[in-house]
Amino acid sequence: MTRTRNAALFLSLALCWGGTFPAVEVGLTAVAPVLLGAFRFDVGAAIALGYVLLATDDPFPRTAADRWSVVVGSTLLVTVNVVFLFLGQQFTTGGIASVVYSLNPILTTAFAALLLSEGSLDARGYLGVLLGVLGVALVSNPTAATLAGETTLGVALVFVAAVSVSLGGVLTRALEPPAPALTRTAWAMAFGAVQLHLVSLALGEPIPSPHAVTPEIVLALAFMGVFASAVGYAIYFTLLDRVGAFETNLVSYVVPVVATVLGAVLLTEPVTPFTVSGFLLVVVGFGLLKRHALARLLGWEAGVVR
């Protein structure tokens, strides 16, 4: 029963986060990108903070490490991430964006090795990082005619978002904040929403006309705020406690499948061979980089097959 529940949570998380990419595309039809991100985290922060304030004994970040982790989270995990991700999705499909974003675990491992001395990359590890980056390059369909096109620009912007999230996660681990992760995340969402509104104002983004906000836009925003943010992070931290970080973060390789299928079904987006091939390269790169952890998970270490 526990395995079934964990599998259900894993699939729910993949649906929540995979559905974010087509939802962003729907939202971008009427709302400017940074403002759309701000609205998303207005909703997410209201739900997450409300829960933390009502249901936890100590809902505030007390130590310097906690406060710095909120700064890192609100800046790198929310603001920089959302600005580049949502700007990038103006120029590419949700399926392509999700493949680029799936580079996150590879980048996180590389940053952890460089900044936290958490192991070192051997030749196969470096090859895994290289294959992941090549996979991301492949999804942009880099030909002489398209190299300076919109898809390449979109991929580059989403890649910066993936770097920001990976670096933010590693820096947060380096701080070793004692407060619960959900508490820190709720406050990071709240401060990140404020930062996004300020960035939106600085960019001069227009407020959408009420007539332009269709029921589809409202539904997309509700999905991003409620499911992709508040519910998604709650499931994520539940899985972290139940099965650990490695197994939970494997969701990064289910999310692009969900995003691509939903984009094809709901938005009639094309699925190109470049997208599929690039995603497979990213998966192979991750497999090389985390081969020992995968072997332990599958029971293949020391010649033991489970």
Instruction: Tell me the CB-side half-sphere exposure of residue 247, using CA atoms within 13 A.
Output: 18
DSSP states along 175-235: H---S-HHHHHHHHHHHHHHHHHHHHHHHTPPPPPGGG--HHHHHHHHIIIIIIIIIHHHH
CA distances from 116 to 58, 80, 106, 295 (A): 29, 22, 15, 23
Binned at pLDDT 50, 70 and 90, residue 154 comes out as very high
The domain segmentation of the chain, as residue ranges, is 1-31+209-270
pLDDT of residue 292: 81
Per residue in 158-183, pLDDT tens? 999 999 999 999 999 999 999 999 99
Q: How does pLDDT run across 192-234, given as a tens digit for each residue?
A: 999 999 999 999 999 998 888 899 999 999 999 999 998 998 8
pTM: 0.90
CB 231 within 8 A of CB 66: no
Closest CA to 12 of 236, 256, 185, 237: 236
CA–CA distance, 278 with 105 (Å, rounded to integer): 16
Helix or strand (DSSP H, E) at 101: helix 94-101
Report the b/e string of 182-221 with b at 16+ CB within 10 A. Answer: bbbbbbbbbbbbbbbbebbeeeebeebeeeeeeeebeebb
What are the tens digits of pLDDT across the range 267-296? 998 888 888 999 999 999 999 888 888 887
pLDDT digits (tens, 9 = 90+) for 50-93: 999 999 889 999 999 999 999 999 999 999 999 999 999 999 99
